[in-house]
Structure 1
Amino acid sequence: MSLSIQERLKDLRVERGLTLGQLAEQTGLSKSALGSYETEDFKDISHYALIRLAKFYGVTADYLLGLSEMKNHPNADLADLRLSDEMIDLLKSGRIDNTLLCELAAHPDFPRLMADLEIYVNGTALKQAQGANAIVDTMSATVIKKHNPGMSDTQLRQLITAHIDEDEFCRYVIQRDINGIALALRETHKDDFFSVPEDNPLKER
């Protein structure tokens, strides 16, 4: 899902609210050349134009060429990222789409997913749910002792249904987080793929 050089150049220009004419004035490159760099039938860009645009936008030439996804931190120290050897090996292996992984991690709701996952993994959610369940169980026992209602009693049923299955609830919250991000990413890339032609030989007959 890596962006093409045309898409990167257009996105950078649009992010800055510039027209092709304004960009031409500020970079000294011709408007026609700049326009051609953003078209689908783009074939080549001069070394001078590449360096000029990279410097103007404050990105690396590698980013414009699609050789790197680091736009604002080209010299980031790998050690500062605190990645494990296993993670580095995975990222270098080509077994996963690193660009999609970056989009996942950069999504606004990703920190919430990580927070919910951390709460689930470290047992905080379990302890909180157990505390809430203990209160509900105490109230249920009190109601039964004082009033001895049947199991069809509305108030007793409300207390029983208030009992939390902590594991199931936490997994539901995490799944909800993931689903929301996945749907947003799919919406972002909905126009990236060609639709299946009507004469597709794989289509069921």
Structure 2
Amino acid sequence: MKQLGEVDSAPDAVDARLAARLAELRAERGWSLGELAERSGVSRSTLSRAERAEISPTAATLNRLCHVYGRTMSRLLGEVEAEPEPLVRAAEQPVWEDRASGFVRRSVSPPHPGLRGELVEGRLAAGADIAYDRPSVPGLEQHIWVLDGALDVTAENVGHHLEAGDCLRLRVWGPTRFRCAGDGDVRYVLAVVLP
């Protein structure tokens, strides 16, 4: 139990996650602490201490960093407020069905603000054909692994035929199309990673 006036040297969980996220954002851009200091107007030592969770950044410091990283403060804090649950039980995985197209989507590992990837199980009925005019996020990384059946995927005007066990890896910049290519249903895993 902490005594009155005693200083707690361990950062709280949110400060620790914020520190890690700030370090990740800088690393994603390949910037040194010096480069970030120049861009943000925050001293290098303050940035270093904030990334190691030795201090909790002030609102003004966070605002400067959010500006540099192109984020709102609420988005940045939303990315670190809660750790994602490590285990997602099958019964808790949201399922959405588009009856008109014959598409069923199970969010196996749902998106979370603190994570960049998600896993989706897709099922297309025989003859189903789905076209998307653009990705939700330009440059979205996708890995499409066919578990059962056959799937035709068109991206960047290039067609790909996938059989059970095949995996297509790509970044999506424009329209895509998914078509069940066999006589029976196709079931596949879609791994989605934000750029």
* TM > 0.5 fold call: no
The TM-score with structure 2 as length reference comes to 0.41
Q: Looking at CA atoms only, which structure, 1 or 2, has the larger radius of gyration?
A: 1
Please state which structure has a larger fraction of its residues in strand.
2
Structure showing the higher helix proportion among its residues: 1
Q: TM-score, normalised by structure 1?
A: 0.39
